[in-house]
Amino acid sequence: MQYQSPFADWYTYSTVHKQLPDFTCEPGLALFPPELVPGVGHPLVDKLGDHALRRLMMRKLESYNAFTEKLEYKAVMAASIKIAQNPQAFGLSEQAGREARLIVTDESHHAYVAIELIKQIPGFSELPPLTPSEPRFLRGLEELERGLPAELADDLLIAFVSISETLITSILRGIPRDRRVVSAVRNTVGDHCIDEARHHSYFVYVVHQHWASSTLDRREILGPLYAKLVRLFLDPDLDLCRAWLLEAGLDTHDAALVLQDYYSPERVAASVRADSFPTLKLMERVGVLDHPAARPAFVEQKLID
């Protein structure tokens, strides 16, 4: 596939070149779309009262921003630096390698804005810290890496980032236009989306080239790996959500009930399919789904029938 730079107008439209978003938090508006916060709307949680609801929303927003920061630093920037330093290893053009450095800049800015946003939300400074845990995706990547030949470690990272940069989550899709949500969050996510549209096109090219330039042996591993990486990125962090529900005032039994309802396997599978729709279409176009080892892995992960 020919590289067509999505960065021609980078100096004009990338958000690192504009003012920080307007961080206004209108009283009475939500910090996050309620249906995206586990437990909100559930009778067992509703009866805990408004304080508990607000706390759950704050935790969700906090974790979303902490996740964004870690994803940018530990995955997207790390992968983009590898691409910049050795584009040929993944079948990429010299220009694509050079322009990967612009993604490093964008992502560093997103991490900065994500943390600035948290600081601006009224009440966040009084929030007690939850026991910090490594994000699920990092633990998952380490585990997958242990099962792979050492020379494929970079391919794993590039594949994971290709997935995370090509799928479009319900958060990115919905929040910028959601009038129920405070301006600070809508503007921050909206700005992020502007840059991510450019990254999306870039990583469509990366997936094409990474796959096309792979030997048969590498495809054998890469194909099924893509399926696992979609789930690794999109599956909920149940331990973290349980901690929020307990903190909000539920006992262990009720927290388990709420999680079972909110994250039933059918509901999780449906939302994973919706969020990964563009990536699954891409996998089809590139030919990954025609690979005899890959297709069954996508079926097993309930991404396709």
Binding part of the chain for Fe ion, among 1-9, 127-135, 190-198, 223-231 by CB under 5 A, reads 190-198
Among 110, 186, 198, 208, binds Fe ion (CB under 5 A): 110
| Stretch of residues binding Fe ion (CB under 5 A), selected from 25-33, 91-99, 106-114, 239-247 | 106-114
- Choose the binding region for Fe ion from 9-17, 105-113, 262-270, 273-281 (rule: CB under 5 A): 105-113
Burial 71-102 (b: 16+ CB within 10 A, else e): bbebbbbbbbebbbeebeebbbbeebbebbeb
Residue nearest to Fe ion (CB): 199
What secondary structure does DSSP assign to 232-264, as a single string?
HHHS--HHHHHHHHHHHT--HHHHHHHHHHHT-
Structure tokens at 230: 């979609």
Query: Least distance to Fe ion from the beta carbon of 72, Å?
Result: 5
Contact pick of 42, 59, 199, 228 for Fe ion (by CB under 5 A): 199
Handedness of CA 244, 249, 250, 252 (dihedral sign): positive
Nearest approach in angstroms of CB 157 to Fe ion is 14
| Distance of closest approach, residue 192 Cβ to Fe ion, in angstroms | 6
User: What does the alpha-carbon distance between residue 103 and residue 199 come to, in Å, rounded to a whole number?
Assistant: 7
State yes or no: residue 60 binds Fe ion (CB under 5 A). no
Q: Which is nearer to Fe ion, 53 or 83 (CB)?
A: 83
Q: Considering the complex, what minimum distance in angstroms separates the CB of residue 108 from Fe ion?
A: 9
Stretch that binds Fe ion, among 44-52, 93-101, 196-204, 244-252 (CB under 5 A): 196-204
Provide, rounded to whole angstroms, the least separation between the CB of residue 170 and Fe ion.
16
Identity at 240, one-letter amino acid code: L
Q: Which of residues 272-301 bind Fe ion (CB under 5 A)?
A: none
Taking contact as CB under 5 A, which single stretch among the options 78-86, 94-102, 149-157, 192-200 is the one that binds Fe ion? 192-200
Residue 156, CB-side half-sphere exposure with 13 Å CA sphere: 18
Contacts 24+ apart (CB under 8 A), 215-223: 218/152, 218/155, 219/291, 219/293, 219/294, 220/291, 220/293, 221/148, 221/149, 221/152, 221/155, 222/155, 222/159, 222/288, 223/288, 223/291, 223/293, 223/294, 223/297
* CA nearest neighbour of 30 among 175, 213, 144, 189: 175
Measured from the CB of residue 114, what is the shortest distance to Fe ion in angstroms? 9
Which of 71/248 has CB closer to Fe ion?
71
Closest separation in Å from C-beta 27 to Fe ion: 29
- What is the radius of gyration, based on Cα positions, of the chain? 20
Closer to Fe ion by CB, 279 or 301: give it.
Answer: 279
At CA 154, angle to CA 115 and CA 218, rounded to 5? 140
Q: Of the listed pieces 90-98, 102-110, 244-252, 260-268, which binds Fe ion according to CB under 5 A?
A: 102-110
The angle subtended at Cα 212 by Cα 205 and Cα 154, nearest 5°, is 75
CB 208, min distance to Fe ion, A: 18
Number of residues engaging Fe ion in binding (CB under 5 A): 4
Binding site for Fe ion (CB under 5 A): 107, 110, 196, 199
